[in-house]
Amino acid sequence: MKRIIHYLLFAGALLFSVSVSAQTQEITGKVTDVSGQPLQGVTVFLKGTSTYTVSNNDGTYSISANPSQIITFTAIGFVTREVTVATQKVIDIILEEEVFNVEELLVIGYGSQTKRTVTSSIAKVSGDEIRNSTVTSATDALKGRVAGARIFSSNNTPGAEPTILIRGGSSISGNNDPLILVDGIERDLSGINPNDIESMEVLKDAASSAIYGSRASNGVLLVTTKKGNNNSAPRITFEADVAVESTERNMEYLGSEEAITLMRKRLIQGPHPNYAYANNYAYSSGNLTSSKYSLRALTSGESVPDGYLSMDDPINPGTTLIFQDNSWINESFRTAIWQNYYVGIDGGTETIKYLASVGYTNDGGVAVGTNFDRISARANLDVKISKKLTFKGGFDFNKMNTNYYASQYQVITRGLMTPTTQKLYYDEGQYAGTPTPGYNASSPTPVFYAYYNDNAQKESKVGVNGILEYNIVEGLKAVAQVSLFNQYLTGDTFMRANIFNGTRPSSSTLTNNERQKVEVYASYNKSVKEHSFSALAGYSYQRYDYKYLRAAASDAASDKIPTLNAGPTKTDATTIKNAEVMIGYFGRFTYDYKKKYLLMLTFREDGSSKFVQGQQWGFFPGASAGWVISEENFFKSLKAVNNLKIRASYGQTGNNYVGYYDALGRYAISTMYQGEASIVPSTMPNKGLTWESSTQLDLGFDLGMFNNRVQVTADYFNKVTDNLITSKVLPNTSGFSSILTNLGKVRFYGFDLEINTRNVVRNDFSWSSKLVMSYVKNIVLELPDNGRDKNRIGGYSVTMADGSKLEFGGTAEGEPLGRFYGYMTDYIIATQEQADNALYDSQSRGWDWTKKNYVTGKSGTSIGKKAIGDYEWKDLNGDGIINGSDMYLLGNTIPTFTGGFGNTLTYKNFSLYIFMDWAVGHSISNNLLQRQMCNFFANNTSLPTEIRKAWDPESGQDVSEATYARFGGNDSDDLNKNYRPASNVFTTRGDYLCLRDVTLSYVLSNAALKKAMIENITFTLSGNNLHYFTSVIGMSPETGTSDAYSTGFYTYPPIRRISFGLKVTF
């Protein structure tokens, strides 16, 4: 019996082993990132066992497992994934990049550090994040993605670069652009293909940027381009994106019939009723057929011409008016095509890594007569020459062509004020068949401008970079780097003969910028037990050469020869040559104990030829320290917190953005005197002129919670710029109006916050978020003594009745930058009694539309009197008179609170990315709307639909229902200055929330593709600049200048792109 039991047990064991063997199967698959790129070196192991494998360079793997086992996929920098085998034989895995990896490297000046040991304020944006935006420039892709950096576009001309302000900038009147280095080469980002970028690091505090010394006050942007990989087979990537472009927003205007009805009634109530009957006025019935304005009275027996509409004359019953209804918005802006193509190859062996790429971008331009195209090429090569010697080289070439408007203010702001009743083209006379112009030569319509003007710019950029690294002994390395950057730009303009100018002016400009840099440095890294330290010291030589040539001519005999030699009258011949040499010594020392107590010291000493001897050198030190509290024993019991590091930094950086010879003074060629040319001083020298210097304190912390699924980085900063380069007014006896001095001080302060979260991490689904917020304020501390209140520069100065002066606006000590002032409405005058008792208004003309005459007051003059429908302004100082002393603070043009919020959701092979950014806390003065409500150009103006909200006393409308005062003729002589003064009427909150990017992608990867030697195909549908949620009317809420959000002129509007993309990896 016992033997039988033994046999049965043996048979059962045998059957069980056979069953297990039968269930074990070979599992294959591929590991990729969210963009579809294969991941090499991913550890694939069976959970609870010692069985594992590693993915190949194409991301593929193979491992034996049974259905009940769990396969785990791990890789540094990526979120770990676990999958139960079940019935699957092929398991393809997408690994999501880990939001916070303490061992991730951050690029810093002349080296790198892990996030764990960084003690300064550095923000990183990955190349994948940049490529989520369908943009021409990588700068656009940074909007809302960097805490502490405000990136905005006041000019959306194809190929234009957005403005970057890091922590508010550093200067009042100087350059506030950050230093940008692409693989160590100083340049802008306009020619860089976003597909070539591996990462972008932003150095925000003084400790991290002090190593760049005199050019780092505005922060530093370090761009690292893609490189090849060791032991990687050649990989070819092809990308194609095609987008449809349109304007995201435009001003809306009344159609011709509604505008004619309103304007003709108003014109006969104004002081110039002839505007309603004379020739060559937009809303006149007396226009001749030769006029550019289509409106006129239909003559007896005449039928309505083709292309014309008709209506009864609202002021002359029985008269038929004929007119055209032309939308200048529709004629000036169009739907355009944006295209981007990219081909890259990368790979490597044990000794060589390589990457090469070419790209082409074309932007058709939504405004007529504008477009942009770019050809880019890049090659990076790393060669391990020997065990100790490595060569790293890079080359990039960009060629860009742009057609643009020479003045957006004239062509767009003024040109689009053209009334809808104006003909598109002359229908008779000398200019028959050609576009009609705007009101005058300085306000051409975009259609007219594109027809008669050529403005072409061609730009080529070449960058060459070579690095030799020699490992002297273990830990000690010497590096020599040589780089050359050359920018060559040509501009050609030509104006064909037209109704305003028959001289056919033409010009050509040639600009050449050349930068040469040689840097050598040595670095040493050493760890002794639990102590780690590094040291770096180096020398830098840089030379900048600038050359400019301009020539101009006019009076060419024909439009067909747009060259300078065709114009016999030479109107300009200018050449400029400038050069600067900078020499610098720099160094850094880092130390940490147990990766717990951290220290970094940096310095740079720079010398510049821009300044005179004795002022040429500046020393810029920085220091930072950190404490990783979470590594302390007393903290480890707090399981929810994985990482907590507090940081502090302090340092100085400089700004040398002054003219090449401002310290030495300048001379200029004067007019002829007694038959002789003369050279006279044009600016006074200041041999004491030196660097602007910014001192910055930064306090911050890095926090990781819940297994690093929630990561928080926060910083408080306080930055004071001293020795501000400002202009000081000189007495007339000096012979000069002003001199540049180092007399000024300004403070920028606030906080940065970045929160990254992994909200959901499952086998087939993941959801991660990134929130970025910045709060920045400023205040002017000191200005040159000029005898004015608070040493105010610019602004208003009003003489009071007692002879004293009231000063406000401009830039003043103790006040923030960006303030603007104007009148404040009290109410709209609704009755004759209110009109009779209205305060004396120094700007009012006293026209009373109800009496069709000027009102005469007790003083015997009409000046200062008001009528029904006018604004009554608030009397700020209570003196009973409305004048310049009654101007209120209306707002500030600089936003205080900016940020962005992005979400990435992945489900199997699908990925959805949604990103929004915002700016809050500022105001915009809508100058475009103001000008059109003023009815400038002798009432020859388009009328915005906002006019419907103006009070109409004749309609019986209650005044409380109106948004604006009564609308009438030209504000200069009819509306008693209701709309022309700066006031709260056209001031609006500039706050906006922009749905910036939405991208849906699908990665296709299967056996059939692999047989065709295709790793994967990614299909993408995306939108960029989809919508602004804002109260700003008719224009981009990002409108402004390089330093601040300014008054809202109508510049090139924001562009919405809807694109389809295809990416194939071989």
Task: Report the C-alpha gap between 279 and 290 in whole angstroms.
Answer: 10
What is the model's pLDDT at position 1042? Answer: 35
Arithmetic mean of pLDDT, 189-194: 92
Tokens representing 234 are 């050649």
Q: Which of 983, 998, 1026 is the last residue of a domain?
A: 983
- Global pTM reads 0.87
pLDDT, tens digit (0-9, with 9 covering 90-100), for 864-877: 899 999 999 999 99
pLDDT at 21 over 60: no
Tokens representing 121 are 């304020």
Q: Which of 447-461, 702-716, 781-795 has the lowest mean pLDDT?
A: 781-795
- Does residue 914 lie within any of the structural domains? no
Domain extent, residue 851, equals 819-886+924-983
pLDDT band at 1020 (very low <50, low <70, confident <90, very high): very high
- Does residue 165 lie within any of the structural domains? no
pLDDT, tens digit (0-9, with 9 covering 90-100), for 353-401: 999 999 999 999 999 999 999 999 999 999 999 999 999 999 999 999 9
Task: Report the C-alpha gap between 306 and 14 in whole angstroms.
Answer: 98
Please count the structural domains in the chain.
2
Arithmetic mean of pLDDT, 647-656: 94
- Does residue 979 lie within any of the structural domains? yes
- Does residue 30 lie within any of the structural domains? yes
What is the model's pLDDT at position 857? Answer: 62
Q: Which of 85-99, 599-613, 654-668 has the highest mean pLDDT?
A: 599-613
Mean pLDDT of the chain: 90
pLDDT, tens digit (0-9, with 9 covering 90-100), for 54-70: 898 888 999 999 998 88
CA 698, 699, 703: angle at the middle one, nearest 5? 130
Tokens representing 854 are 């000027």
Tokens representing 774 are 């910045």
pLDDT band at 604 (very low <50, low <70, confident <90, very high): very high
What is the model's pLDDT at position 970? Answer: 86
pLDDT at 90 over 60: yes
pLDDT at 5 over 60: no
Exposed e or buried b per residue across 24-52, where buried means at least 16 C-beta atoms within 10 angstroms of its C-beta: eeebebbbbbbbbbbbbebebbbeeeeee
For residue 33, the domain's CATH number is 2.60.40.1120
Task: Report the C-alpha gap between 621 and 571 in whole angstroms.
Answer: 51
Q: Exposed (0-12), middle (13-18) or buried (19+): which is 543, by Cβ within 10 Å? A: middle
Q: Where are the alpha helices (DSSP H) in 225-327?
A: 256-267
Q: Quick check: 352 and 384 in contact, CB under 8 A?
A: yes
Tokens representing 978 are 């209701």
What is the model's pLDDT at position 1050? Answer: 67
pLDDT band at 20 (very low <50, low <70, confident <90, very high): very low
Q: Which of 319 and 13 is assigned the larger pLDDT?
A: 319
Q: Which of 983, 1001, 1021 is the last residue of a domain?
A: 983
CA 815, 818, 820: angle at the middle one, nearest 5? 90
Residues in contact with 770: Cβ distance below 8 Å, sequence separation at least 6, in sequence order: 99, 145, 754, 755, 756, 757, 900, 901, 902, 903
Task: Report the C-alpha gap between 969 and 268 in whole angstroms.
Answer: 9
Arithmetic mean of pLDDT, 278-292: 95
pLDDT at 123 over 50: yes
DSSP letter (8 states) at residue 318: T
Task: Report the C-alpha gap between 907 and 928 in whole angstroms.
Answer: 47
- Smallest Cα–Cα separation from 206: which of 139, 109, 112, 106? 109
Arithmetic mean of pLDDT, 750-774: 93
What is the model's pLDDT at position 1015? Answer: 85
What is the model's pLDDT at position 18? Answer: 41
- What is the distance, to the nearest Å, from the Cα of residue 810 to the centroid of all Cα atoms in its chain? 25
pLDDT at 816 over 90: yes
pLDDT at 3 over 70: no
What is the model's pLDDT at position 99? Answer: 55
- Does residue 546 lie within any of the structural domains? no
Arithmetic mean of pLDDT, 634-655: 93
pLDDT band at 10 (very low <50, low <70, confident <90, very high): very low
| Radius of gyration, alpha carbons of the chain | 34
Count of residues in the chain: 1066
pLDDT, tens digit (0-9, with 9 covering 90-100), for 141-184: 999 999 999 999 888 999 999 999 999 999 887 789 999 999 99
What is the model's pLDDT at position 19? Answer: 43
Task: Report the C-alpha gap between 1052 and 1060 in whole angstroms.
Answer: 24
What is the model's pLDDT at position 175? Answer: 83
What are the angstrom distances between the C-alpha of 761 and each of 78, 82, 756, 905, 1000? 12, 10, 14, 10, 19
CA 473, 475, 478: angle at the middle one, nearest 5? 70
Task: Report the C-alpha gap between 109 and 208 in whole angstroms.
Answer: 7
Percent of the chain exceeding pLDDT 70 equals 95
What is the model's pLDDT at position 442? Answer: 87
Q: Quick check: 841 and 857 in contact, CB under 8 A?
A: no
Q: Which of 680 and 690 is assigned the larger pLDDT?
A: 690
Q: Which of 47, 70, 95 is the last residue of a domain?
A: 95
Task: Report the C-alpha gap between 755 and 702 in whole angstroms.
Answer: 10
Arithmetic mean of pLDDT, 595-609: 95
Q: Which of 342-351, 706-715, 728-737 has the lowest mean pLDDT?
A: 728-737
What is the model's pLDDT at position 859? Answer: 62
Q: What are phi and psi of 988, to 5 degrees?
A: -135, 155
What is the model's pLDDT at position 672? Answer: 55
Task: Report the C-alpha gap between 349 and 6 in whole angstroms.
Answer: 59
